[in-house]
Amino acid sequence: MAEMSKDIFLNELLGRMTAADKAGQLNLLAGTMDATGMKNTGDLEAKILSGQCGAVLNVYTPAATRALQELALASPLGIPLIFGYDVIHGHRTIFPIPLALACSWNLELIESCARAAAAEAAADGLHWVYSPMVDISLDPRWGRVAEGAGEDPWLGAKIAAAMVRGYQGADLADLTSVLACVKHFALYGAPMGGRDYNTVDMSRRAMEETYFPPYRAAIDAGAQTVMTSFNEIDGIPASGNRWLLTDLLRVEWGFQGWIVTDYTSISEMINHGTAATDTEAAQQALEAGVDMDMMSEAFLTSLPELLENQQVTMEQVDAAVLRVLATKWDLGLFRDAFARCDDARAAAIFQHPATRQLACEAAREAMVLLKNEGQLLPLDKQGSIAVIGTLADSGRDMLGCWIAAGDEAVAVSGLAGIREIAGAMATVVFATGDDLTEAGRLASEADHVILVLGETWEMYGEAASRTTIRLSSHQRKLAKRVLKSGKPCVLVTLSGRPLELTWEDSKFPAILHAWALGSEGGRALAEIIFGEAAPIGKLTMGFPRSVGQVPMTYREKPTGRPFDAAAKYSSKYLDAGNEALYPFGHGLTYGNCDYGPVTVSSAAMLPGGSVTVSAGITNPNPHPVTETLQLYLRDLVASVSRPVKELRAYQRVTLAAGETRIVSFEITDADLTFPGRDFKPVVEPGDFEAMIGPSSADLRAVRFTRLGDAE
């Protein structure tokens, strides 16, 4: 009955719309509460009032969205607006940047963070978030790695689905739900040279094996919208690429929602050199399958003319308009366009203590202990502790990039957290480190030093690619000066990307990577430093030894000339190893576990059957230890070359003091499936290697054979 009335309502409405009204519904314009692209909307209010705008980005708060919604309702057809915004890792309460949160490997936690972000966003007048960003990237020069889940497609797919579930909840009309927008479709994380917006040139195999799985998982999880990417694919910009948006996304993957372009990317087809005018670009975009135009205004200005000249059909335009209107119906906008404009609700939800607590938990789990020689960490809360580095005292840098409506005034900096947790028992002194002599003196006078270095928030994110990913030369000088004191020194690193820490690794006994941890970051950081909690994060993107190694991945293919340090003509560098300094999956905790041999339940696996692979793990410490065991697989001989290892499962276990446990993973055909020569999923009989360990570079292996049908 409800569906019936929805169809009748929408078709009746569509029947009353002119070509211009329809173009208006497909036009997404930006307000001025944030600037996220090169072009501004000059006359937003006038366009809304005349029905030339179907959705708005970069406007939030109950008052601001109400004011624009009133204009929309006063427009000739009175169709309400959808409000969208870049809620990337929280809205008011900020969670760790996505790359950091991914390092928790905790899907439930990630889903909860998205759910909490959705509730705050929805209470702030919003219906739509431009998240999750699921672009796989193997290149830390690209600043937007901060916004994704890292290098691994399998884990990236799980995280993408969890975020979609969190944002959209069970029902879009629920006042705590928002539409998710999967971005950037597609391959945006592989620009040449790691330079943002640069050309992507990729094999179909890399697309299928490495880059597509997270987009697809997000769509299978029910994501209602997809954002196109800025790059070209096989010479055709994504926003005008019919193979990508229609043949693949809609037909092959069955995507039912609607497609929005990225900021001005229809017009940018002119710069790409595949359209001469906005009108040509608009035609290409609509034909490719785009439904909504973000900020080019090319649909607005060109669709009526294109219809008139029969260069696009009314069916094409109507299909796009109906998708957008149907979402407005599903959001409940035709019933009550102001349901999300309630100041009292907003005040009750923003920065709620439970959300702040969730942010603290997320921050704790996002940190990765890279090195801890001599168990320098955790520190005792006693004596004198010198905290050094401007980043230690910055709430803003703790929040990270894309902070939506986050407020640095209520963000806990590292220094504030350290003072709160240890200040009553230890003497905490601070220096920015701008003055090297002062920093050296403070370090010499202290019992312990916590040196906080890395990237400021502007050094990563969109349009923030770098050709070097080391600490700055001043930070290196500061590090040398502090180390000269001879005092035990913990290096805490903040960043939005994997850094090149080879020099630091050779000098510092302990390195704790803290990324940008969000509103509660400093508190969580101090809890880890002083042992109130143990670090459990595992890298989801390797840290290279040298930027010259990137792009790089632990999932590399075997070459014809595998690495051999002694053989000149093997695949290697003259001046660095092949592996990451800190590989994918790496992350220490306080007191590590011992691994026993890996065993398999049967040397042969029947078609459609399973084998169980197990590892014994012992906690030799006098306290409980939590470890994330990772299972990797390798298909030894197949019809196409397969990666030397691929993550296929993991389990987080907590072992009591002295406990030994057998941890088991069941392997089925689904885990052995890969895109065959024709890119269709296939399982091939033959030998496989299963590997278990605490990181992708520390594994114990066992073999089994997947039998063929006749065997």
Binding site for ligand BGC (CB under 6 A): 36-37, 57, 86, 130, 183, 262-263, 462
Minimum CB–partner distance for residue 39 and ligand BGC (Å): 11
- Kindly state the helix (H) or strand (E) to which residue 13 belongs, with its residue range: helix 2-15
Compare residues 57 and 249 and give the one whose CB is closer to ligand BGC. Answer: 57
Q: What is the 3-state secondary structure (H, E, C) of 134-200?
A: CCCCCCCCCHHHHHCCCCCHHHHHHHHHHHHHHHHCCCCCCCCCCECEEEEECCCCCCHHHCCCCCC
Minimum CB–partner distance for residue 180 and ligand BGC (Å): 12
Which are the contacts of 419, defined by CB distance < 8 A and separation ≥ 6?
428
Minimum CB–partner distance for residue 263 and ligand BGC (Å): 4
Which are the contacts of 255, defined by CB distance < 8 A and separation ≥ 6?
219, 226, 249
| Contact indicator for 258, 286 with CB cutoff of 8 Å | no
Minimum CB–partner distance for residue 687 and ligand BGC (Å): 43
Compare residues 135 and 209 and give the one whose CB is closer to ligand BGC. Answer: 135
Minimum CB–partner distance for residue 261 and ligand BGC (Å): 10
User: Cβ-closest residue to ligand BGC?
Assistant: 36
List the one residue out of 670, 611, 683 whose CA is nearest residue 642: 683
Label residue 230 left, alpha or beta by phi (over 0 means left) and psi (-120 to 50 means alpha): alpha
Compare residues 86 and 152 and give the one whose CB is closer to ligand BGC. Answer: 86
- Kindly state the helix (H) or strand (E) to which residue 482 belongs, with its residue range: helix 473-484
Compare residues 258 and 263 and give the one whose CB is closer to ligand BGC. Answer: 263
Minimum CB–partner distance for residue 275 and ligand BGC (Å): 20
Compare residues 86 and 361 and give the one whose CB is closer to ligand BGC. Answer: 86
Q: From the centroid of its chain, how far is CA 346?
A: 26
Q: How far apart are CA 131 and CA 126, in angstroms?
A: 13
Compare residues 406 and 542 and give the one whose CB is closer to ligand BGC. Answer: 406
Minimum CB–partner distance for residue 128 and ligand BGC (Å): 10
Compare residues 263 and 590 and give the one whose CB is closer to ligand BGC. Answer: 263
Minimum CB–partner distance for residue 296 and ligand BGC (Å): 12
Establish whether the linkage from the previous residue to 127 is cis, with ω within 30° of 0: no
Count of other CB atoms within 10 angstroms of residue 4: 8
555 phi and psi angles, rounded to 5 deg? -85, 35
Minimum CB–partner distance for residue 496 and ligand BGC (Å): 14
| Contact indicator for 127, 178 with CB cutoff of 8 Å | yes
| Contact indicator for 161, 154 with CB cutoff of 8 Å | no
To 5 degrees, how large is the angle CA 215–CA 580–CA 490?
A: 105
Which are the contacts of 70, defined by CB distance < 8 A and separation ≥ 6?
none
3-state helix, strand, coil in the chain (%, to 5): 35, 20, 45
Minimum CB–partner distance for residue 196 and ligand BGC (Å): 9
End-to-end Cα spacing for the chain:
54
Place of tokens 């603290």: 360
| Contact indicator for 450, 418 with CB cutoff of 8 Å | yes
Compare residues 330 and 462 and give the one whose CB is closer to ligand BGC. Answer: 462
Q: Which residues are catalytic?
A: 262
Spell out a b/e string for 421-453, using b for 16 or more CB atoms within 10 Å of the CB, else e.
bbbeebebebbebeeeeebbebbeebebbbbbb
Q: How far apart are CA 121 and CA 126, in angstroms?
A: 5
Minimum CB–partner distance for residue 222 and ligand BGC (Å): 20
C-alpha distances in Å from residue 551, one per residue of 142, 151, 161, 352: 10, 10, 26, 41
Compare residues 129 and 367 and give the one whose CB is closer to ligand BGC. Answer: 129
Q: If you ran DSSP here, which 8-state letter would residue 409 be given? A: G
Tokens of 645: 């290892």
| Contact indicator for 292, 321 with CB cutoff of 8 Å | no
Amino acid identity at 649: A
Compare residues 60 and 632 and give the one whose CB is closer to ligand BGC. Answer: 60
Compare residues 183 and 586 and give the one whose CB is closer to ligand BGC. Answer: 183
**Alpha helices by DSSP H, 275-430:** 278-288, 298-308, 314-330, 343-349, 353-366, 395-399, 414-422
Q: What SS3 state is found at 550? A: coil
